Structures are given as structure tokens and as C-alpha cells.
Homo-oligomer: A and B are copies of this chain.
Amino acid sequence: MKFSVTVTLKKDVLDPQGKVVQNTLFNLGLKNLKNIRQGKYFEIEINEQDEKKAENMINEMCQKLLVNLIIEDYQINKLQ
């Protein structure tokens, strides 16, 4: 089973990397840009046929390693 995980900074957390990208795009001439925030993306394949169990495993991965729950949110989607 294949899942995608999207990790984003929480709303109130400053995103300096996103700001740099935003300024650079502005300097490249893209003046209509309002806001840009950067996050992480994972594509995870696991050997588990039961969807419920698989999602629990993905959750465990996020909480143990992939996501810093203090400053980040995450969202899991099933692919295909």
C-alpha cells in the first residue's frame, strides 16, 4: 500500500525558507505572489494489506520520526 504524507509548518510558525523563496520569486518578476510556505512530502510504500493497520503504521512513523509535532502538522493520503 502506498501513502503520501504532507508535512507543513503550523500557521503561526515563521517560515524563513519560504520567505527567501518568496523574495527570490518577487525579484524574478513574479509580482502577483501573495504568500508561499514550504513543507515536506513523503511517499511511503508498506507491506500491509489492511488499510486501517497501514494507516496506523504511517501515523506511528510520522510521530516517531517524520514530523516535529510541536511546530508541524501532517496529513496522510492514500495513493491509488
B18, B24, B37, B64: the one within 8 Å of A65 (CB): B24
Chain B residues with CB under 8 A of A6:
6, 41
Cβ distance A33 to chain B, nearest Cβ, rounded Å? 6
**CA of A45 to CA of B37 in the docked complex: distance in angstroms?**
9
Q: Assuming A61-B25, A65-B24, is B32 touching A43 (CB within 8 A)?
A: no
Beta-carbon contacts under 8 Å, A11-51 to B: 18, 21, 24-25, 28, 30, 32-48
B8, B28, B57: the one within 8 Å of A43 (CB): B8
Residues of A whose CB lies within 8 Å of any CB of B are 6-8, 18, 21, 24-25, 28, 30, 32-48, 57, 60-61, 64-66
